[in-house]
Structure 1
Amino acid sequence: MALLLVLLILVLGYRHCTAIPAQKSILKRSSGWESYVLLGNHGLGGLWLGFVTFIVLVPAIYGAMIIFSLVIAIFGIEARPVTALTQFLWYKQIAGIDVWVIAVGIFSILMGPQKIKQDLSKDSNKNWTDELRKQDAISDIVIYASSEVKPVKISLKSRKVYVGLIDREQFERIDSDNIVIIPYLSGHREKDSLKVEFDSNYIDVYQKNKIEHFNTSGEPSNAKLADFRCVIRLNEVESISLFDLQYYQDFRPDE
């Protein structure tokens, strides 16, 4: 029975974590005992909710049985529904498991979706993205830049540098986390001075080919900004920061 109880707790915890975006991200980025602790924490919460529901309903059921006993006594029917309920609920076993334990498990499973619904309605989209931003500094900057539509400068370990808008991001698995950007500029850092040199200006290409909001003439274009998307693995990122061309020029020494 102990093994089944542990499995129930883990299943309840997994169902809850995978339904809440922030918890899903935390779970997929966890490993080893951290995952079990996270699942156990939410699973115990679901089990406790099922137990409370059971405790609340038991007096109501007993009350109904007492009323039923009084009704059948009026008609002279000899029966003891309260005793039968007590024997079944507290002393009966199914497959070696007490009936009341099975009832708590069933209530935990049934109340799980309601708890998930409450948590989702309580935590708005902004709240769970704020929770994701608390995980690490890169997540903070990336989510902020994505929500505010601000350009970022991403420096890679290979000394490659990209400047652009974040199209989307994936922060679920440590080994496959990535950032998808629409590049504006790209270049490299010099080996010795680490000075950034931009050698590709995508903005000029967008304007020349009249792509989407860079189309100043209003003429239709078959190309889309999405066609230029670039996927960057997070484990290749050395640094990331918000980027403003005006401020960037202010930091550059006069040449």
Structure 2
Amino acid sequence: MPLLTIITITFNAERYLRRTLESVKKALAEIENPDSVEYLLIDGNSTDQTLAIATMYGELITRIVSEPDKGLYDAMNKGQSLASGRYLWFLNAGDEIFERRTLHNLLKALNGGADIYYSDAMFVREDGSEVGLRSVFSAHLLPQNLTWKDFSLGMKVCHQAFIAKKSIAPTYLTDNLSADIDWEINCLKNSNNTQYLNRPLCRYLLGGLSVTNHRKSLMGRFTVLRKHFGLLPTLLNHIRIFWRGFIFARRNGKYW
């Protein structure tokens, strides 16, 4: 059994996929046992050059699945069900492993056997230039003793910097653009041992589904938080969320 399964979801991702695959290729070159990592690419039946690009990196991709799906989180569920690794790491098209030695160091940490490992994420622009760490350049401070209750004000940990055992991971909601928040909360509720890593795991490409569908994403977030925290606390917390965002934006500018 591989120790880790990395899952990349794609749909017409020819513009961004190569940067992700290059980062995985460089990281895999730094580990002693390549068989300890499984790499799945789950594609939504792309009509551009996504699959042609993926085929060029066939030596590092364990399995490519390309077929119609019901959206991002349906594809994530498919990847999760196919994964044979003990741990799951979702790294989508455009995102990158932070640096060459990140995977090497991560595998050493995973041998510790915790249920969840998480870290900060580096925000980057499309040209690759760094914006800064998510915990600094957004209003989401990153606690070093994370629990599910830390999500009362929204997404506390970037999804690409959150690694969970498959055995504790639930399926994703498929009708909610904030399904990643729900998934992380449920993972944390199932975790007996959650470990903070003091080095970033990923470079997160600014943009994405939740930004291009911002209003729908916010409604989805409210639904998820109400489910876990109750209606009244969620209403009050959203007042705090909007006020916090307003103050942060006034001081630092828009960050999404």
Q: TM-score, normalised by structure 1?
A: 0.23
Name the structure where helix makes up a greater proportion of residues. Answer: 1
Q: Which of structures 1 and 2 has the bigger CA Rg?
A: 1
